[in-house]
């Protein structure tokens, strides 16, 4: 036995000496690289120069983090590292990069908290605490609406010198004592949903709504994002005199703002709606939803991308319980873009939403954090080419992933799965555009060797996996390619 062990050691030493081990190791690493998302991209000579610059910034930042891991921004809660990210040469370069489209964003959480706060200086705005949540509404006078004891915001400002700072805080998730109040997903979702409730009455005032949505498009455009697909519950808009509009009438105002923005920004490709009511519905409500979808499809066919359900999945109704109603909606020719598997539970109803989303024919899947726990579902995702909408900062802020180096999308990138990067609810985390989420993906979720090829593939994916028609995607890709070529050509003129 001992002689056999000695013989095996001798063979291993010989193999090491002959270089077999090193060849096998090099071959294995190379084979893994060939599986990575973006591996098929071939960079031009000019792109290689930009890639060299980009990777010098990335590796310097990573090497510093190796020496002092406590300073690695993506491993810390986003609100504490935002300033550090903004000073990163990688982030500054990403800001300039054409990123295609944002395919996952919620309509009443797309502007910045500062912009929302600025809107509160408009005349006739009242505030009131209702059911424990501060709410806003434009009124001709405080007696116009008897659901609450409304007070003018101007009056509240005069009564409390700290009111303005407090009011702004209601639009964003950050709290100084977040470690004490954000103890689990249920608690943080409660605070998260309050930001929507506070903002709703402000941004659904019809004149403000148009101003707000225009600003949301501008923020994307300034971040070199040229297309948007947004989820909306289609809130009822209202006028100062109390006149309200039907949910489907909201589409005319979306369409008007999009058209106006595109006139002033010819490079902007456009925006489309994913109608997304809350997931806690009954059969009667689904009948109304089906009617709304049908009316939208008849009146606004060019702006409707599809259907989704939104809200906290763990405390909401599972997709399985809506399967029959969803199949009825499918008969209208509506595409699905379901949130599914935004959870850390395994084999729960929420976790199985991913499987149900696949079986129900979802064109893309939002978050799908538990997907890597389902090998058969992974095979189906690959076979059907269903992209996952990855929103890194959202997943961290809502406590699903603490350190973004542990994000499950690392597996998806390593295995070449189709993904797109988006920002989810940027106003709640005070984010503008996609660059922050691209930074987190590039620096933490993707590997050390991930380079410009990955970024280029992610940008292309955002167009390929959009709801645009084949011809529209061709036009969009051509426009993006022109912007990309200009970015590559001029990057050497810039300093970071």
Task: Quickly list DSSP for 279-318.
Answer: S---HHHHHHHHHHHHHHHHH-TTTEEEE--BS-TTTS--
DSSP state of 370: T
How far CA 89 is from CA of 57, 61, 189, in Å, comes to 6, 9, 33
Structure confidence at residue 355 (pLDDT):
97
Q: In whole angstroms, what is the distance from residue 241 CA to residue 316 CA?
A: 35
SS3 105: strand
SS3 136: strand
Chain mean position to CA 368: 12
Which two structure tokens, joined as six digits, stand for 229? Answer: 């697909």
Of 42, 184, 108, 201, the closest CA to residue 424 belongs to 108
Structure confidence at residue 40 (pLDDT):
95
Per-position pLDDT tens, the chain of length 496 = 566 566 656 665 666 556 677 888 888 878 888 889 999 999 999 999 999 999 999 999 999 999 999 889 999 999 999 999 999 999 999 999 999 999 999 999 999 999 999 999 999 999 999 989 999 999 999 899 999 999 999 999 999 999 999 999 999 987 766 666 677 778 889 889 999 999 999 999 999 999 999 999 999 999 999 999 999 999 999 999 999 999 999 999 999 999 999 999 999 999 999 999 999 888 888 889 999 999 999 999 999 999 999 999 999 899 999 999 999 999 999 999 999 999 999 999 999 999 999 999 999 999 999 999 999 999 999 999 999 999 999 999 999 999 999 999 999 999 999 999 999 999 999 999 999 999 999 999 999 999 999 999 999 999 999 999 999 999 999 999 999 999 999 987 665 5
Strands (DSSP E) contained in 36-100 are none
Sheet holding 270-275, edge to edge: 101-106, 227-232, 270-275, 304-307
How far CA 489 is from CA of 146, 216, 479, 492, in Å, comes to 61, 29, 16, 7
Of 408, 424, 410, 423, the closest CA to residue 344 belongs to 408
Could you count the other beta carbons within 10 Å of the beta carbon of residue 292?
A: 18
Which two structure tokens, joined as six digits, stand for 207? Answer: 């004149």
Structure confidence at residue 181 (pLDDT):
65
The DSSP secondary structure of 182-234, one letter per residue, reads: --SHHHHHHHHHHHHHHHHHHHTBHHHHHHHHHHHHHHHHHTT--EEEEEE--
Of 213, 256, 223, 265, the closest CA to residue 100 belongs to 223
The topology under which CATH files domain 93-113+205-486 is TIM Barrel (3.20.20)
Structure confidence at residue 461 (pLDDT):
98
Angle between helices 250-264 and 206-222 (to 10 degrees): 40
Structure confidence at residue 284 (pLDDT):
81
48-54-59 Cα angle (round to 5)? 120
Q: Give the contacts of 487 (CB within 8 A, at least 6 positions apart).
A: 96, 97, 98, 224
Element (H, E) at 178: helix 178-181
Element (H, E) at 358: helix 349-359
Structure confidence at residue 13 (pLDDT):
61
Q: In whole angstroms, what is the distance from residue 182 CA to residue 397 CA?
A: 10
Q: In whole angstroms, what is the distance from residue 191 CA to residue 186 CA?
A: 9
What φ, ψ does residue 136 adopt, rounded to 5°?
-125, 150
How far CA 199 is from CA of 195, 349, 407, 438, 469, in Å, comes to 6, 31, 30, 27, 34
Q: What is the pTM of this model?
A: 0.94
Greatest alpha-carbon pair distance for the chain in Å reads 97
Chain mean position to CA 141: 38
Active site residues: 342, 367
Q: Is the dihedral of CA 48, 25, 74, 407 positive or negative?
A: positive
Chain mean position to CA 483: 22
What φ, ψ does residue 398 adopt, rounded to 5°?
-90, 15
Angle between helices 375-384 and 349-359 (to 10 degrees): 30
Contact 356, 323 (CB under 8 A): yes
Which two structure tokens, joined as six digits, stand for 125? Answer: 């705005």
Q: In whole angstroms, what is the distance from residue 85 CA to residue 4 CA?
A: 57
Tell me the helices (H) and strands (E) count for the chain, helix number first.
21, 11
What φ, ψ does residue 278 adopt, rounded to 5°?
-65, 150
Structure confidence at residue 184 (pLDDT):
78
Q: Where in the chain is the domain with CATH 3.20.20.140?
A: 93-113+205-486
Of 141, 113, 108, 170, the closest CA to residue 425 belongs to 108
């Amino acid at each position: 036995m001992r002689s056999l062990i000695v013989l095996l050691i001798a063979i291993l030493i010989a193999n090491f000496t002959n270089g077999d081990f090193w060849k096998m190791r090099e071959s294995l690493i190379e084979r893994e690289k060939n599986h990575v998302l973006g591996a098929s991209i071939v960079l031009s000579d000019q792109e290689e120069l930009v890639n060299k610059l980009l990777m010098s910034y990335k590796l310097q930042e990573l090497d510093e983090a190796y020496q002092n891991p406590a300073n690695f921004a993506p491993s810390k809660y986003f609100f504490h590292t935002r300033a550090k990210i903004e000073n990163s040469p990688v982030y500054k370069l990403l800001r300039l990069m054409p990123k295609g489209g944002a395919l996952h964003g919620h309509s009443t959480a797309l502007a910045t908290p500062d912009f929302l706060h600025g809107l509160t200086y408009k005349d006739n705005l009242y505030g009131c605490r209702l059911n424990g949540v501060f709410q806003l509404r434009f009124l001709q006078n405080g007696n116009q609406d008897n659901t609450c004891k409304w007070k003018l915001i101007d009056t509240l400002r005069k009564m409390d010198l700290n009111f303005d700072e407090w009011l702004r805080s209601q639009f964003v998730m950050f709290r100084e004592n977040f470690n004490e109040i954000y103890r689990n997903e249920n608690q943080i979702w409660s605070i998260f949903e309050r930001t929507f409730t506070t903002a709703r009455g402000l941004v659904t005032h019809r004149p403000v709504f148009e101003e707000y949505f225009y600003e949301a498009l501008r923020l994307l455009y300034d971040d070199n994002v040229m297309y948007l697909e947004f989820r909306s519950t289609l809130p009822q808009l209202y006028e100062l005199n109390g006149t309200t509009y039907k949910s489907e009438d909201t589409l005319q105002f979306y369409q008007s703002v999009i058209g106006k923005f595109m006139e002033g920004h010819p490079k902007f490709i456009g925006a489309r709606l994913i109608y997304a009511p809350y997931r806690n519905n009954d059969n009667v409500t689904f009948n109304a939803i089906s009617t709304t979808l049908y009316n939208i499809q008849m009146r606004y066919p060019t702006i409707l991308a599809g259907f989704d359900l939104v809200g906290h999945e763990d405390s909401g109704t599972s997709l399985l319980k809506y399967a029959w109603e969803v199949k009825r909606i499918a008969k209208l020719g509506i595409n699905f873009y379901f949130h599914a598997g935004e959870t850390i539970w395994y084999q729960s109803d929420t976790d199985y939403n991913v499987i149900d989303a696949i079986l129900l024919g979802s064109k893309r899947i939002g978050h799908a954090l538990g997907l890597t726990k389902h090998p058969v579902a992974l095979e189906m995702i690959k076979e059907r080419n269903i992209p996952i909408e990855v929103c890194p900062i959202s997943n961290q802020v809502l406590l699903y992933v603490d350190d973004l180096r542990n994000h499950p999308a690392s597996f998806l990138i390593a295995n070449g799965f189709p993904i797109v990067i988006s920002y989810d609810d940027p106003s709640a985390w005070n984010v503008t555009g996609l660059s922050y989420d691209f930074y987190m993906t590039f620096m933490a979720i993707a590997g050390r060797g991930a380079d410009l090829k990955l970024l280029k593939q992610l940008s292309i994916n955002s167009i390929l996996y959009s709801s645009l028609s084949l011809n529209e995607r061709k036009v969009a890709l051509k426009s993006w390619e022109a912007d990309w070529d200009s970015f590559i050509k001029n990057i050497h003129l810039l300093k970071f």
